[in-house]
Amino acid sequence: MKRVNAGFSLVELVVTVALLGIIASLVVPDAASDRDRLQLDAAARRLQLGLERARLAARRAQQACGISLGSDAWLEPGQQQLPAALAPCSGVDLALQEAFEQGPIRVHTNLPELIRVSANGLLLDGGTTVLSHERLDQGRCLVVSLPLGVSRVGTYQGDLPALGEAPRSTLCKPRVQEG
């Protein structure tokens, strides 16, 4: 009598599933690290975008305005923070990370509570902000240099600032594009 081989044995299936599990476990840490790095890069772009929105709002209204950086977003400052002659920059509310975050982005900054923007879009206050992720060793940084308020985004080359410690602009190096 001839026997027909109609499928896989249980041993073959178990070995195949085990091999697929091992291969998948090798790929997952790299994917998580890449996702964290992309999340940090997006937060750095949003940090710079918030400043650009404030500059555009001031130029559009032809009026000086102010913006504040919270622990996780750009915000319109409250009236108690603003001097009498300064309006809040409108339309600048922008979170630094999406609601479906994979890990918290920490903000270390020495920017003042209120960042002033002139009517022609110049930033009147400067400082350095470093963004870090709990699972990454290196942070992204934004430096706002005076007198013209030019901003640049880079990679923070030193140890991340401790709680309450001010980040140093000299450690924020421009990011070199690969490829």
What's the token pair of residue 50? 């918030």
What's the whole-model pTM score? 0.76
| Banded pLDDT at 179 (limits 50, 70, 90) | very low
CATH top-level class of 34-174: alpha beta
What is the Cα–Cα distance from 71 to 161, expressed in whole angstroms?
15
Instruction: Please write the tens of the pLDDT for every residue from 35-53.
Output: 888 889 999 999 999 999 9
Residue extents of the structural domains in the chain: 34-174
Instruction: Please write the tens of the pLDDT for every residue from 77-111.
Output: 877 778 878 899 988 888 888 776 667 888 999 99
